[in-house]
Amino acid sequence: MSPFIPAAERVKRARALIEKARQLPVPTEMGKSDLSYIAQVKLLLQQARDLVKFFSYNPGVSPELKEEAKKIFAEADQANREILH
């Protein structure tokens, strides 16, 4: 069974994963077209989304954290566009 992670900690971890995706070095040979690079970026962004995706369905989560979850989804989408396009 996985350990319980408080909602505020999930938000911090999600933001850290998005930042980690932004800081991945672009491969020199194929650049942003490298499939391994694309997969790593997409995996990190998906992990960030997965950390907060159930906030909107949980009545125990405060409205502020639900809003933070929406912002994280938007940040992940923006990071995807910035990094890969």
Listed residue (74, 75, 55) closest to 65, CA to CA: 55
> Stretch 62-66: mean pLDDT, rounded?
94
Domain total in the chain: 1
Q: Which residues constitute the domain of residue 68?
A: 7-84
- The answer to whether residue 1 sits within a structural domain is no
Q: What pLDDT does residue 2 have?
A: 75
Instruction: Please report the pLDDT score of residue 32 as a whole number.
Output: 93
Is 53 within the bounds of a domain?
Answer: yes
Structure tokens, 8: 């505020």
Question: Is residue 32 within 8 Å of residue 84, measured between CB atoms?
Answer: yes
Q: Using CA atoms, how far apart are residues 41 and 19, in angstroms rounded to an integer?
A: 10
Q: Which amino acid is at 5?
A: I
Model confidence band, residue 79 (pLDDT cutoffs 50, 70, 90):
very high
In the structure, what pLDDT confidence band is assigned to residue 68 with cuts at 50, 70 and 90? very high
Give the DSSP H or E segment for 65: helix 63-84
pLDDT digits (tens, 9 = 90+) for 2-22: 789 999 999 999 999 999 999
Name the phi and psi angles at 30, rounded to 5. -105, -5
pTM (predicted TM-score)? 0.93
